[in-house]
Structure formats: structure tokens, C-alpha cells
Amino acid sequence: MKLFDLSGRRALVTGSSMGIGLALARGLAEAGAAVVLNARNAQRLEEAAGTLRAEGHRVDILAFDATDHAAVRAAVDGFEAETGPIDILVNNAGMQHRAPLHEFPAEAFERLLQTNIASVFHVGQACARHMIGRGEGRIINIASVQTALARPGIAPYTATKGAVANLTKGMATDWAPLGLNCNAIAPGYFDTPLNAALVADPEFGAWLGKRTPQGRWGRIEELVGAAVFLSSPASSFVNGHTLFVDGGITASL
């Protein structure tokens, strides 16, 4: 369907050497987009790019630290000048740290702030400057079920993901008049490297099956439809929205 066709578009996905980021990059490529993979580890990026290229997709790589404002700006500006426009940005880079709040290390709290929320500002602003000049662009920020809910041991992570949702609203408020669509996707519990500790915990798995109306972990490919929708003309009047993809966990007590 033309409404969901991303042919002729280019998407930058941060934190896309594995996990959700790589799955979203593959999904956008399957919808027709050229994709730009990003992470700090150049070797992992090359491996991921090789996998997608072997599947027939158009792939570039752009290695930079999403928490470094100057490095982000230089990388994005350089890519736009040398290769071409970035039409779609998916801010996926993120990290987790689990500890009781009264024992939470201050340095871990700072890393969470930088990785989960400051990076959204850095990369979002760098890409938006170019998108604004063209009068159009799509920004998708990856939030979390913890945007709306909290669990023991991850209060700082919960704070960062709440901030992602509100920064998304702020982006839409400032940039929608300039032609941009800025939204967020809030995944529920997915079997990813970030959740490895929870996946390995049988007690948590049993709790999750009972707590989630659909009764299971999410599969990362189940996030692709939301990303394609928010990247495509099908969502042309959707702005400042956080789309929960969580098996119903935020809808049910």
C-alpha cells in the first residue's frame, strides 16, 4: 500500500547493531527505505550491515556516540553533506541499570540520563535542523512501558523514559509547525539483550505471563508495524503521540 511505502526515504536508527534497533532497521528497509545503522562499536555495525546487505537492503553505517553532542552534530552534518538527506530518525539508543533506589550508584544514574534522554535531544536536534530546512521529516523516539508504569529497582530508568515521552511532545510542539512529525513507540516487555536478566528469571516470566493480557513476551518484529506506520504517509496527522506496543499491559490492572 502506498500509504506505508517508504521507497525513496532514508532512515537513521541509533543503537541499531543488534536487538530492537536492528529489527526496526530491517523492517524499515523491507518497507522500502534505505537505512543508516548507528552504534559506537564499528565492528558490530559492519557485521549488522553485512547481514542486511545480504538480504538485499541498502545500508550505510554511521558510528558515533549518541551522548556526545559535538560528535553527533559532526556525524549527521557530514552524512547529509556527503551522502544525502536523513528523512526518518529512530532514536533507539538506550541502556538499563537495576538497583534499589536507595543504593543506586550516582554514576549509573548519570549514564542513564545521558544514554536514554540526552541522546534523544542530541540526535533529534542534529537531524531536525536539516529536516526543517526541507520542510518535512519523521522522528520516532523509543520510550517504554515504563513511560507509564514503574517497577522496583529501575526508578531512574523509569524517569528517563517518562522524559522521552514528554520530550517527544515538546518536539512535536516546536517542530510540527515546521513540517516534522515527532512521535514515540513504547514497547512493553520484549525478549531483548536489555531484558536478558528478566528473561532468565522464571519467576518474572511467570509474573509477566499473568500480568500481560496477551500472556507472553513480545517479539521484536512486532514493533516493526508501529515504526513503519509512524515513518510513513499513513501517520501524516499523528504528532506528539506515544504508541504503546505492550500486549495490553498498560490497559489492565
Q: What is the pLDDT of residues 223-235, one digit of tens each?
A: 999 999 999 999 9
Catalytic residues: 157
pLDDT in tens, 67-106: 999 999 999 999 999 999 999 999 999 999 999 999 999 9
- What's the pTM value of the predicted model, to 2 decimals? 0.96
Q: Residue 251: which residues within 8 A CB-CB, separation 6 or more? A: 213
Task: Summarize the chain as % helix, strand, coil (round to 5).
Answer: 55, 15, 30
Domains of the chain: 2-101+114-246 (3.40.50.720)
- In degrees and rounded to multiples of 5, residue 114 shows phi and psi of -70, -45
